[in-house]
Structure 1
Amino acid sequence: MNNKILEILEYQRLKHMAVPFLASAAGQEELEQLVPQTDLKTVQTMVEETTDAADINRIVGPIPVPALANIRPQLKRLRVQASLNGTELAQIAKVLQTTLAMNNFFDRLRDDQIDLRRLYQVVEQLVTIPEVTKRLLKSVDEDGRVKDEASSKLHGLRQLIATTETEIRQALEKYTRGREAKYLSDTIITMRNDRYVIPVEAHYRSRFGGVVHDQSASGQTLYIEPQNVVEINNRLRQAQIEERQEVRRVLAELSALIAPYRKEIANNERLLGHLDFVNAKARLATKMHATLPVINDDGLINLRQARHPLIDPQRVVPNDIQLGDQYRTIVITGPNTGGKTITLKTLGLIQLMGQSGFFIPANEGSQITIFDNVFADIGDEQSLEQNLSTFSGHMENVKRILEQITERSLVLLDELGAGTDPKEGAALAMAILNQIQQVGSEVVITTHYPELKVYGFERPQTINASMEFDVDTFQPTYRLMLGVPGQSNGIAIAQRLGLASTVINDAQSLVKDDSQKLNAMIGELVEQRKQARENQERLAKLVAENQQKATDLEQKLNRFNEQRDDLYEKARMQANHQVADAKRKADRIIHHLRQMEVQRGTQIKENELIDAQGQLNALHRDPRLKRNKVLQRAKQKHNLKIGDAVKVKSYGQVGTLIAKRGKHQWEVQLGILKMAIDERDLEKVSSKVLAQAEKEQVVKPKRVRTVQTRRTSARLDLRGQRYEPAMANLSSFIDHALLNNLPSVTIIHGKGTGAIRKGTQEYLRSNPRVKSFEYASPSNGGDGATIVYFE
């Protein structure tokens, strides 16, 4: 991509908009080096990475890349076996720490089953060095200070230094707080030449002995190290020297430790910078309400409500721009200050954004293509140094453009042919367009020449366009109208501004009749286009309202059908109860008949009794109802809602519905227990039943005898499961273990990334029935399993 187009379209300003969202030096460097790409696969990869980052931003927030310094100079020094200082090691440690954090972040995304297109592959290239990272973090803090824990010797020396300093201060405080304080110019303890001293009035110098390290500017105060602290100060200095030597030794040791991993660390820095970079592009897209472009390699551009990204969103006027399908050349005409140049820049800059992997400021579904180059001649090219007029400057640019374009290029030309005789300029502009069309490039130009309006009508794959102008207010609306050439409004504007009528009439008489007719025709087209757009907007509003009404009606119909099916199901159940009651009565009658047969000796045929009983049984459920699809759907919907009192049939306990967990599961509060119960195991009861059950528990507490509804094992294996299903299985397992009065259970969660292990322990801490828990013994799984003890 040529550098001139990047300058003309202010591509650097666009990139600068992403700078506030960057945290790492590597990300900033990647942004600085970013240029539009011309390979379809490369562009698609860049856009997919931005899409991944946008999805992550929407679901869990921005990718957490902290501020990371440029560590390449440090890594180069390690190559020559140099020893790094604490700050440099801290910067490398932060890169390694961020590498671990980034792996954990994307592991959680995998556990949550968040699909990404590219970034998982990027993260897989990160190389974690846990032992080195742990050693660095243990030895150096974020500010580069070597910690006491870096070595046992350093820890001992710093303890000695602290003890010695305390001893010195205690010795000197005898002077600042005792009888000798009156001989001091100030009762403070200070430092001179890295030794503790006290300020003594000069004429009392002999009372203290020791060493004079400094004096005040007036000479009235001497900074003296008393004789009784000289030896202690010597010990302090020796300990400080040994401490510095130990710090240098530790820094050299840490430098040697990370030196073999220079390439891995450098690659980690680059990958973290890349994640920071794509995250910045995604956050910029959110800020400017940009959307994912549809990319093709067929030369098709279809921008829906495109906006210039560098103009205030509150002021910019969006436009639809199509190119490359039915026409490959657009000729935009119309008055000055109407927005023609901004339209050219909007098209060009959005195309560069898409080819750089950015989302574009246009509506969903907008298409861009892949150009091998974008050329533009926009603005005043007058040059005093080269002795070029405006016309000559433009022609120099056009000459270079014609020498470089291909059939896969986009050309943007502003005021083509301007700056010379209108007839010659128009002829030259048409010749230039002919040359561009022969090559096959796509081109958009702006012009004032009426001859080019005719050219736009006559040439194949060429269309006229204009910027809309409000004839009532004589103000531009900045709307692009494809298919309508621009109207010259110079005389009308002059009349509106109050120019003398004689001058206006004279000017109109000098304009050719053809031009007046053309302007009148264009005016009618503009008015018709305006009315068509207003009608389209009104129809679109009506369609949206009708769609909303249709959606509301459909929702009401669905609710009606659900209520009808529910009533039907209740009626069927009531009928079944009645039939069941009739069946019981019939059974009693048959039994009575059997007794009569025995008593009277009258024989009743067995097959008659069986037939009669079978007919009654058939009344219990109509086979047609069993196969009815409406009833099958109704079975799956229970008229349950949060707060209902229910009976858990398998436990015989009454509780309250707290929340719906899934399609067919509810969370039920049973006393102090919360359990996930299938709705088929629930029976809705009245609030009185619930109140009675609670009253009985309070008045007469008794031990609830639980019935084991499933074979409860004392061991649960969560290995290989996703995070959310694993936590649901854990909750259900603990509930069943408590109901079956198990004293302890074992949870096997494995080691892995630690996400399930952490989630297990967080759940156990939050469960009031868990007395304690601990890792299993090494022979039983170690920290890959947790043993739980209940109250």
Structure 2
Amino acid sequence: MIYPHNFEQKIGFDKVRDLIASKCLSTLGTERVYDMSFSTDYNSVLRTLHETHEFTSILDSEDNFPVSYFFDVRKALKRIHVEGTYIEENELFDIRRSLDTIKSIVEFFKTEEDLPPVYPYLSTLAGNVMVFPQLIGYIDKILDKFGRIRDNASPELLKIRREISSTLSGISRSLNNILRTAQSEGYVDKDVTPSMRDGRLVIPVIPAFKRKIRGIVHDESASGKTVFIEPAEVVEANNKIRELEGDERREIMRILISFSDTLRPYIDDIFSSYEFLADIDFIRAKALFANQVNGLLPVVEDCRQIDWYHAVHPLLYLSLIRQQKDVVPLDITLDEKNRILLISGPNAGGKSVCLKTVGLLQYMLQCGLLIPLYENSRCGIFKNIFIDIGDEQSIENDLSTYSSHLTNMKYFVRNCDSGTILLIDEFGGGTEPQIGGAIAETLLDRFNQKGAYGVITTHYQNLKHFAEDNSGIINGAMLYDRHIMQPLFKLSIGNPGSSFAIEIARKIGLPEDVIADASQKVGSDYIDMDKYLQDIVRDKRYWENKRQNIRQQEKKLEELTSRYEIEIKTLEKQRKEVLTNAKVEAEKILSEANARIENTIRQIKEAQAEKEKTRAIRKQLEEFKNSVSKDIIIDDKISRKIQKLKEREEKKKSNGEKDTKTVFKPDTIEVGDAVRLKGQSSAGEVLEIQGKNVLVAFGIIKSNVKLDRLEKVSKNQLKKDRNAKSTFVSVQTTDDMREKRLNFKQEIDIRGMRGDEALQAVTYFIDDAILVGCARVRILHGTGTGALRQIIRQYLATVTGVKNYHDEHVQFGGAGITIVELE
């Protein structure tokens, strides 16, 4: 239940509707948008949310979803319920194209029988939708690709049109002969050609010579300098043309009536298919709006709760984006322990925005819309949403603002329960503060006793005290920077807020003696309490900033620890490799040393104790010994470095630092990880994560990518990719290839093209498909005379990268589509 009747206007949902409606492709979806309503059924809300969430994935990752020809032909279908009525030519063309779109959408959601659907909720929606390939084929026999009735739609129509063509040719010849004669005699200008007036072929003649040509004057130009004469020789032929055109219209009408008779038994089923098309248009518009405002699917549970992180008012977000400003997000929690949040703080500090954000996002959620907040937020389902906000003064009903508030409060007290969320702005305001505060306190007590949830804003001190002393209600404050005297638009839950009335009065220049007298009148207790509140808010902000800084430092320490552990492991690995190589080298050195020693002994013996030669031989042996020692020293340096790293790590552990170990977690993506797009080979590094959006550096290119499109890989893979790029392929080339792969569409439509034009288009298309590594593509050429099909297949037979090609399944186009399998 929603209260009051203008609830949507109060929270801004009417503007949200208009924004979503503007993204619809047809009146089919627009009607759905304006029929969208608040639902309290958990399963229904969850289903609509998942449908929209799945479509956001389609928008992010699929390029081939059919979005053309969302036509609303329901009026035409209703009209032919009566026997003997028929669908107009243009309406039939719209039916043909929209039925083909429905068939393509249903085909998009189909998967192999043994595989789970990629989009389960949307696949369920499309599961029982009927498609009409036979009707599409029937229409194709009647209409050409431009939506005009074919000459061969019936033998009689073909005969009539041939006769019209023959008669027109005869008229044209006669007119040209008459025209040439008139031009030679100077009655008509040399550059004049026959024209059409009232459906009859005529000759433009200068008025002075109109008597020179025998015939009927049909018209004259606006300037009066030209008259249009139908020569007597072609009057009869023109009359015949009129008769033949009448026969043509009657035959076309007969063809359309015949088709309408065929279509009539399927109308109810076709209506159901168009309902599906309306659903898809509606869901697509919701998904586009979600992407525009960064809407996400939070955790939704069948209970009463609000546990939101970084919630944003979508309309405020769009407005500030246009002004190039940042929006301050809202963190808010309502649960069974603290059901009612009482927000206080200065005017223009963001209290009303906070209240409207809660109302709008909760209403959007229960209308099946994704909402802008962090995806780890938790949401619940409320049965009732009651709001009291703004000036409700009524001249017609003789109600003051306060009387209007009391009328709303009466309704709230009577109808609220544990499934209700109340949104009340300036609670108790509008009347004398003492009695207004007392009534507000009593009402707050009743709301609390009934177990209602709520967000209530106020300036009354007694309500702040009441919230502090009663369970179920919690104080909150909109923060204010008293040094620069500006609101921070940030909600802090746990303590009441100050109105900063004295500070604001002093800032705007109110005389100091006035401020002093006012402070004396209100009493020192009130002033002191207000100061205490300000001090509490200041201290809380200070400690929150401290805690945030500590968290950041802890995170840096964890990252350093992780990096050192990785370095230790890397060095250990290198050391083992060095030792292994050293052992092999040592064996070689030992073998060589033995040989050198034996050789030295032999040389000394041969020298027969000659001192100079013996000294030279010993010097060579000493140099060899020094080179061997150098290798051993290098290994000792590595060992010492590893030992130092280990000692540093042990020292950190003994000081109580967190011992974190870097473990490769394929399901968790964090800043600094190596990732790649699913189905792609190139790896990049994660620079930043914002909700479901990830900033990834692929070489020198930074790109925003949806989290669910990425998969984690080892950092060795990232190094290999970087080395490979620098050695073989430039970053620009790699990025161009990635862009081409992401934007490649696996289908080309060449219907209506000339043979050489179609062949060139298919050549480029097949080249691109092979280049991006596509395994299967579709070529739409239509049936027609079969000429295009033959040309394309002759070409495909010559392409080495083509494995085979064949007709599409008859249900999805048959011989009008060629499926190409690529190697």
Normalising by the residue count of structure 1, what TM-score does the alignment of the two structures yield? 0.70
Determine whether 1:170 maps to 2:181. no
Alignment partner of 1:18: what SS? helix
Deviation at 1:366, TM superposition (A): 1.2
Q: Is the 8 A contact 2:88 2:256 kept in 1?
A: yes
Alignment partner of 2:352: what SS? helix
Deviation at 1:222, TM superposition (A): 4.7
Q: Which residue of 2 aligns with 1:223?
A: 228
| Equivalences for residues 557-572 of structure 1 within 5 A | none
Question: Which shows bigger deviation, 268-277 or 492-501?
Answer: 492-501
Q: Which residue of 1 aligns with 2:61?
A: 59
Determine whether 1:297 maps to 2:302. yes
Deviation at 1:57, TM superposition (A): 2.0
| Equivalences for residues 402-481 of structure 1 within 5 A | 402-481=413-492
Alpha-carbon distance change, 770 to 511 in structure 1, aligned in 2, over 3 angstroms: closer
Q: Is the 8 A contact 1:326 1:461 kept in 2?
A: yes
Q: Which residue of 1 aligns with 2:43?
A: 41
Deviation at 1:381, TM superposition (A): 1.3
Q: Is the 8 A contact 1:63 1:279 kept in 2?
A: no
- Of residues 375, 382, 388, the one that matches 1:364 is 375
| Equivalences for residues 72-151 of structure 1 within 5 A | 72-81=74-83, 82-107=85-110, 115-140=118-143, 144-151=147-154
Q: Is the 8 A contact 1:295 1:368 kept in 2?
A: yes
Deviation at 1:367, TM superposition (A): 1.5
Deviation at 1:53, TM superposition (A): 1.1
- Residue identity matched to 1:165: L
Q: Which residue of 2 aligns with 1:505?
A: 516
Q: Quick one: distance in 2 between partners of 1:485 and 1:443?
A: 16
Deviation at 1:757, TM superposition (A): 8.8
Structure 1 unaligned blocks of 5 or more:
576-658, 663-754, 777-781
Q: Which residue of 2 aligns with 1:379?
A: 390
Q: Which residue of 1 aligns with 2:540?
A: 529
- Residue identity matched to 2:91: E
- Residue identity matched to 1:12: D
Q: Which residue of 1 aligns with 2:654?
A: none
Q: Which residue of 2 aligns with 1:232?
A: 237
- Of residues 64, 67, 70, the one that matches 1:68 is 70
Q: Is the 8 A contact 2:428 2:440 kept in 1?
A: yes
Q: Deviations along 1:156-188, whole A, 9 cap, x unmatched?
A: 433443443333223212233345452237833
Q: Quick one: distance in 2 between partners of 1:546 and 1:342?
A: 39
Determine whether 1:267 maps to 2:272. yes
Q: Is the 8 A contact 1:209 1:226 kept in 2?
A: yes
- Residue identity matched to 1:140: L
- Residue identity matched to 1:230: V
Deviation at 1:551, TM superposition (A): 6.0
| Equivalences for residues 149-298 of structure 1 within 5 A | 149-180=152-183, 182-184=186-188, 187-201=192-206, 204-205=209-210, 207-214=212-219, 222-298=227-303
Q: Is the 8 A contact 1:85 1:144 kept in 2?
A: no
Question: Which shows bigger deviation, 214-223 or 153-162?
Answer: 214-223
- Of residues 5, 10, 13, the one that matches 1:11 is 13
Deviation at 1:307, TM superposition (A): 0.9
Q: Quick one: distance in 2 between partners of 1:107 and 1:326?
A: 47
Q: Quick one: distance in 2 between partners of 1:481 and 1:162?
A: 83
Deviation at 1:772, TM superposition (A): 9.4
Normalising by the residue count of structure 2, what TM-score does the alignment of the two structures yield? 0.67
Question: Which shows bigger deviation, 475-484 or 565-574?
Answer: 565-574
Q: Quick one: distance in 1 between partners of 2:52 and 2:290?
A: 9
Q: Quick one: distance in 2 between partners of 1:93 and 1:33?
A: 27
Alignment partner of 2:479: what SS? strand
Q: Quick one: distance in 2 between partners of 1:385 and 1:342?
A: 29
Alpha-carbon distance change, 140 to 552 in structure 1, aligned in 2, over 3 angstroms: farther
Alignment partner of 1:346: what SS? helix
Q: Is the 8 A contact 1:416 1:446 kept in 2?
A: yes
- Residue identity matched to 1:99: I
Q: Is the 8 A contact 1:197 1:224 kept in 2?
A: yes
RMSD of Structure 2 on Structure 1 (CA): 3.8
Alpha-carbon distance change, 407 to 661 in structure 1, aligned in 2, over 3 angstroms: closer
Q: Quick one: distance in 2 between partners of 1:204 and 1:523?
A: 101
Alignment partner of 2:22: what SS? helix
Q: Deviations along 1:668-723, whole A, 9 cap, x unmatched?
A: xxxxxxxxxxxxxxxxxxxxxxxxxxxxxxxxxxxxxxxxxxxxxxxxxxxxxxxx
Q: Quick one: distance in 1 between partners of 2:114 and 2:63?
A: 16
Q: Is the 8 A contact 1:95 1:265 kept in 2?
A: no
Deviation at 1:332, TM superposition (A): 0.9
Q: Is the 8 A contact 1:301 1:323 kept in 2?
A: yes
| Equivalences for residues 663-742 of structure 1 within 5 A | none
- Residue identity matched to 1:427: A
- Residue identity matched to 1:95: S
Alpha-carbon distance change, 218 to 22 in structure 1, aligned in 2, over 3 angstroms: closer
Deviation at 1:774, TM superposition (A): 7.1
Q: Deviations along 1:372-423, whole A, 9 cap, x unmatched?
A: 1100100011122222221111111211222222220111111111111111
Q: Deviations along 1:286-334, whole A, 9 cap, x unmatched?
A: 1111211211222111010111111035342111010023211111111
Question: Which shows bigger deviation, 397-406 or 176-185?
Answer: 176-185
Alignment partner of 2:502: what SS? helix
Q: Is the 8 A contact 1:213 1:225 kept in 2?
A: yes
Q: Which residue of 2 aligns with 1:708?
A: none
Alpha-carbon distance change, 394 to 121 in structure 1, aligned in 2, over 3 angstroms: same
Deviation at 1:445, TM superposition (A): 1.0
Alpha-carbon distance change, 460 to 217 in structure 1, aligned in 2, over 3 angstroms: closer
- Residue identity matched to 2:516: N
Q: Is the 8 A contact 2:53 2:296 kept in 1?
A: no
Q: Is the 8 A contact 2:329 2:490 kept in 1?
A: yes
- Residue identity matched to 1:139: I
Q: Deviations along 1:54-106, whole A, 9 cap, x unmatched?
A: 22222214843324232221121121132111122122212211122112322
Q: Quick one: distance in 1 between partners of 2:150 and 2:347?
A: 69
- Residue identity matched to 1:169: S
Q: Deviations along 1:596-642, whole A, 9 cap, x unmatched?
A: xxxxxxxxxxxxxxxxxxxxxxxxxxxxxxxxxxxxxxxxxxxxxxx
Alpha-carbon distance change, 374 to 246 in structure 1, aligned in 2, over 3 angstroms: same
Identity of aligned residues (%): 31
Alignment partner of 2:391: what SS? coil
- Residue identity matched to 2:442: A
Deviation at 1:342, TM superposition (A): 0.8
Determine whether 1:485 maps to 2:489. no
Q: Is the 8 A contact 1:56 1:62 kept in 2?
A: no
